[in-house]
């Protein structure tokens, strides 16, 4: 079986360039520790956050690594501290407080699809931020790198074992260009939309007012669940609604194909997104 044969869906293929034990490609998790730690887990009531959390596949670190930037522009301005068994670890290649992971994969998307490479969604990290890139992975024979940039000097940034270092999101090329953006007064909106919005706005105001009064229905409900449930203000259901994604796991196929190349060493650094 070839990984390029059409299946029952769009294929995202990761050609593994060398053995990198413990480097995993997995669907992004729905939950976040910081969201679970909020009062009564209230952050988990935000469906847009939950959906964004799981919208793609993550590359997971196989060891604990730390890095710190002294503020300089040269590559040696970053120091690292690795676990002894860290085989997948960042380097300072570009300087200016940027640390770089070289992925052990060459990705292929279907014709017309790019790959958005970004940091894990809703995973803030003190003193450092992920850089994003869009790569034409339907044709390019080059690998790409994952890069994070320090935003503060002399701060240790830690990536724990099992922590995602990037998120991969296929995007259809040219789709954004096809949109025709417009700003229109709500007064000119279709009657159904304007009426539904007015009902939602009125209900929201009443609910927030009710939260001020002990024993009120709003206090008992704690939060409005219409959007989470995909409901209009009149109780009818949205034509399409999802509360969870079902991304497929990567299936390993190389044993069925041709085994490993004789020079299965680490790849070159690749190109930055």
Same domain (yes/no): 21, 117: yes
DSSP string, 71-101: S-SSGGGEEEEE-TT--S--EEEEETTEEEE
For residue 98, pLDDT beyond 70: yes
Q: Examine residue 6 and state whether it is found in any structural domain, yes or no.
A: no
Same domain (yes/no): 98, 36: yes
pLDDT digits (tens, 9 = 90+) for 56-69: 999 998 889 999 99
Q: How confident is the model at residue 273 (pLDDT cuts 50, 70, 90)?
A: low
Report the pLDDT value the prediction gives residue 3, as an integer from 0 to 100: 42
Same domain (yes/no): 116, 60: yes
Same domain (yes/no): 157, 194: no
Same domain (yes/no): 171, 194: no
- Say if CB 227 and CB 51 are below 8 A apart: no
Q: Examine residue 230 and state whether it is found in any structural domain, yes or no.
A: no
Same domain (yes/no): 39, 167: yes
**Mean pLDDT for the chain overall:** 90
Up-side HSE of residue 166: CA atoms within 13 Å toward CB? 27
Report the pLDDT value the prediction gives residue 20, as an integer from 0 to 100: 65
Residues in the chain: 273
Same domain (yes/no): 150, 217: no
Report the pLDDT value the prediction gives residue 120, as an integer from 0 to 100: 97
Q: Examine residue 215 and state whether it is found in any structural domain, yes or no.
A: yes
Same domain (yes/no): 152, 103: yes
Report the pLDDT value the prediction gives residue 19, as an integer from 0 to 100: 74
Same domain (yes/no): 215, 146: no
For residue 208, pLDDT beyond 90: yes
Six-digit token string for 234: 């009149």
Same domain (yes/no): 45, 97: yes
Residue pointed to by tokens 């919005």: 197
Q: Examine residue 229 and state whether it is found in any structural domain, yes or no.
A: no
User: Measured between alpha carbons, how far is 97 from 153 in angstroms, rounded to an integer?
Assistant: 9
For residue 4, pLDDT beyond 50: no
| Mean predicted confidence (pLDDT) in 177-191 | 97
Same domain (yes/no): 203, 88: no
Q: Examine residue 104 and state whether it is found in any structural domain, yes or no.
A: yes
For residue 5, pLDDT beyond 60: no
Q: Examine residue 3 and state whether it is found in any structural domain, yes or no.
A: no
How many domains are there within the chain? Answer: 2
Percent with pLDDT over 90 in the chain = 81
Long-range contacts for 125-129 (Cβ within 8 Å, ≥24 apart)? 125/157, 126/152, 126/155, 126/157, 127/151, 127/152, 127/155, 127/156, 127/157, 128/67, 128/99, 128/152, 128/155, 128/157
Closest CA to 193 of 136, 232, 164, 137: 232
Q: First vs last Cα of the chain: how many Å apart? A: 31
Structure letter (DSSP) for residue 69: E
Q: Examine residue 46 and state whether it is found in any structural domain, yes or no.
A: yes
Q: Examine residue 234 and state whether it is found in any structural domain, yes or no.
A: no
Sign for the CA dihedral angle at 134, 44, 193, 186 comes to: negative
Same domain (yes/no): 210, 158: no
Q: How confident is the model at residue 253 (pLDDT cuts 50, 70, 90)?
A: confident
Q: Which CATH number do you get for residue 66? A: 2.70.40.10
Domain residue limits at 102: 13-179+247-255
């Amino acid at each position: 079986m070839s990984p390029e044969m059409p299946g029952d869906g769009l294929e995202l293929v990761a050609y593994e360039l060398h053995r990198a034990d413990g480097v995993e490609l997995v669907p992004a998790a729905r939950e976040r520790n910081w969201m679970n730690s909020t009062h009564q887990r209230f952050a988990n009531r935000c469906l847009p956050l939950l959906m964004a959390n799981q919208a793609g596949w993550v590359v997971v670190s196989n060891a604990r690594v730390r890095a710190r930037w002294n503020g300089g522009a040269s590559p040696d301005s970053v120091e690292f501290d690795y676990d002894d068994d860290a085989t997948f670890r960042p380097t300072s290649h570009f300087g200016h407080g940027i640390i770089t992971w070289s992925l052990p994969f060459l990705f292929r998307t279907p014709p017309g699809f790019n790959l958005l490479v970004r940091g894990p969604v809703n995973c803030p990290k003190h003193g450092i931020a992920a850089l994003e890139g869009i790569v034409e992975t339907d044709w390019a024979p080059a690998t790409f790198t994952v890069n994070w940039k320090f935003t503060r000097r002399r701060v240790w940034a830690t990536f724990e074992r099992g922590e995602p270092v990037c998120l991969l999101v296929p995007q259809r090329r040219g789709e954004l260009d096809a949109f025709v953006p417009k700003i229109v007064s709500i007064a000119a909106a279709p009657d159904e939309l304007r009426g539904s919005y007015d009902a939602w706005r009125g209900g929201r105001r009443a609910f927030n007012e009710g939260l001020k009064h002990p024993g009120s229905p709003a206090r008992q409900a704690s939060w409005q669940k219409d959007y989470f449930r995909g409901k209009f203000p009149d109780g009818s259901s949205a034509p399409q609604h999802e509360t969870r994604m079902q991304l497929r796991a990567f299936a390993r196929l190389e044993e069925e194909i041709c085994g490993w190349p004789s020079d299965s060493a680490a790849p070159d650094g690749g190109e930055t997104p």
